[in-house]
A and B are shown apart, each in its own frame.
Chain A
Amino acid sequence: MTALASLGLFQALIILSFIITAIACVILLALLVKDWKAGRIW
């Protein structure tokens, strides 16, 4: 039995994963700066 993913679905899955990964990186850096400023890294 086959049900192929459409181009749109394929594209959406991969682009979404790129976006979340990039956002994750930005959030991690922002959190570090925030913790640093508040003196709460450790």
Chain B
Amino acid sequence: MSNTHVLTPQAGWLLLAGFSVVWIYLGYFWGRRAKSLDGYMLAGRNVGIALGTATAMATWVTSNTTMAAPQLAFQMGVWGMIGYSLGSMGLLFFAPMAERIRALMPRGYTSGDFVRLRYGRKAWYVFLVISICYGLGWLISMGMAGGILLQALTGIDYKVGMTVILVVCMLYTMLGGLYAVIGTDYIQSVLILVGIVVVAVFAYVNIGFETVYESLQTTRPALLNLLMPAALMFLFNNLLFGLGEIFHSNVWWSRAFAFRPGVGFKAYLMAGLFWAPIPIVAGSLALVAPALGMNVPAVDMVGPLVAARIMGTVGAVFIFIVVFSSLASSLDSLLAATSDLLVEDVYRKIFKPLASDAELRRASKYLILVLTVLAWLVCLPRVTHLAGMIAFTGAFVGSTIWPIAAGLYWRKTNRTGAALGMLLGSLVGLLAYFQIGWYVGALVGSAVSMIIVLVSTLLAPAAFEWDELAEHHGNADEQVATGSSV
């Protein structure tokens, strides 16, 4: 791997230490605002449009967006970049849903709350298994990505880099809850946007579009092919993966609850529009490689290698900052949202319905610690390939698209259809993943789930009342305040 290092370990440590201190301090600083449970878990339910847009955008920019997009552009060409860019559809489609979620569930906490109230316990259990496993899988893949990328970029040992990035994200998330996550997301989103566009513009200004194009035409014409079948298949799978991920994951629901009324729609819409060009900008870097006559030793490192070749150490520093910001903005959100799901749906709803806010907040901190340790233990042996792990979850998230979307807008959708849609969609999607290929898991999972939800709704329409979603939590604190019992 030594031939992929674009920075020395010393420079890597310096950058890592500098950013770590800043994130942890900001976690502490913003954490002082989190005086209540709503403050800690949902940033006071009053987040404005600027932070709202930035947090939705930055969280969706994972290390995959900045690292795998160049790789896909290098392997699948123009459609690889556009296909990746269609991941933004999830954010765009979620925009009206976010507004509706906030209106229907003004006191909601998690996506699990919605499934439980809308479809009952059986569907809720299926959903929790899918959602918690997915959250953990994503967390682990980000932890692994952190270690792999730090090692590849700087030569810092995988285990050390992975440990540092997990611990830093854990500390500031623990200290500041969603306030810290959303606040740091804003800074990270600006760093990502500036960093990636500066490097890419510099590359094309220096090399020239015509040189890049002619070089591709001569050496890799397939990358300019607009009818590459594998790339088109990838495009649809990625679109559905994005929809499924965003529709079901508590990462996105917690933001819908956290945004001030009227902010959700605009924030998710702008986040989708702002996110869409990022994979193309990042991917465009990879297309410069043939013009530079570069021999790329590791295809997943093509973006940073091109940046370092064109801009030297400055380019490498830019890419390091972009990658580190992408990792941190997703890791912190996953830690916060998964621990919220476990606190609200498992700890409070299953084990301790009368837990006080202070107890729940304490539980949330412990769970962030437990999730980090768990992710760290799984990441240690570096067992699986990053992209493979994410694609594996496609079947699961694809199967949740219809139960969630239909459940939010169609009162006739019934409990059995939703539970079966998620269960069978996941199983058949998984089968397709193994029998056909990684790029069809989400496609098949969502198709099976769609058929089940639609047919079951037409055969046995329910008559759900939207008011049933407006649950108000009665905990020990409120009992003391109102003298009531739950």
Contacts and interface: CB of A to CB of B under 8 A. Distances in A.
A29 B53 CA distance: 11
Interface stretch (B21-29, B132-140, B209-217, B384-392): B209-217
A10 B284 CA distance: 10
A1 B229 CA distance: 9
Interface in A14-42: 14, 16-18, 20-22, 24-25, 27-29, 31-32, 34-35, 40-42
Contact of B281 (A1, A18, A27): A18
Nearest to B85: A17
B129 to A, nearest CB: 34
Interface in B254-270: 260, 270
B225 A22 contact: no
A22 B200 CA distance: 12
Contacts of A14: 200, 204, 209, 280-281, 284
Nearest to A20: B277
Given A17-B280, A28-B274, A29-B190, A3 B225 contact: yes
9 contacts: A10-B224, A17-B85, A17-B281, A18-B201, A20-B276, A21-B281, A25-B193, A31-B50, A42-B44
Given A18-B200, A21-B193, A25-B190, A42 B273 contact: no
A15 to B, nearest CB: 8
B278 interface: yes
Most central of B48, B179, B227 by chain A CB within 10 Å: B48
Contacts of A10: 78, 209, 213, 224
Interface of A: 1-5, 7, 10-11, 13-14, 16-18, 20-22, 24-25, 27-29, 31-32, 34-35, 40-42
Contacts of A13: 78, 81-82, 280
A38 to B, nearest CB: 8
B190 A21 contact: no
B458 to A, nearest CB: 39
Given A4-B221, A24-B193, 8 more contacts: A3-B225, A7-B209, A17-B85, A20-B273, A21-B196, A21-B281, A25-B194, A28-B190
A28 B196 contact: no
B412 interface: no
A3 B197 CA distance: 28
B49 interface: yes
A4 B47 CA distance: 46
Contacts of A4: 217, 221, 224-226
Contact of A24 (B46, B213, B274, B284): B274
Contacts of B51: 32, 35, 41-42
A42 B189 contact: no
B89 to A, nearest CB: 15
**Among B82, B85, B209, which residue has the most Cβ atoms of chain A within 10 A?**
B209
B53 A42 contact: no
Contact of B48 (A5, A16, A22, A35): A35
A21 B50 contact: no
Contacts of A7: 209-210, 213
A22 B201 CA distance: 10
A40 B209 CA distance: 43
Contacts of A25: 190, 193-194, 197
A27 B179 CA distance: 22
Interface string B170-212: 0000000001000000100110011011001100100001100
A23 B186 CA distance: 16
Contact of B50 (A3, A11, A28): A28
A18 B193 CA distance: 10
Contacts of B85: 17
Nearest to B39: A42
A4 B361 CA distance: 56
A40 B82 CA distance: 35
B43 interface: yes
B102 to A, nearest CB: 16
Contacts of B201: 18
A13 B274 CA distance: 15
B33 interface: yes
B226 A42 contact: no
A11 B204 CA distance: 10
B239 interface: no
Interface string B5-28: 000000000000000000000000
Contact of A32 (B50, B194, B217, B227): B50
Nearest to B182: A42
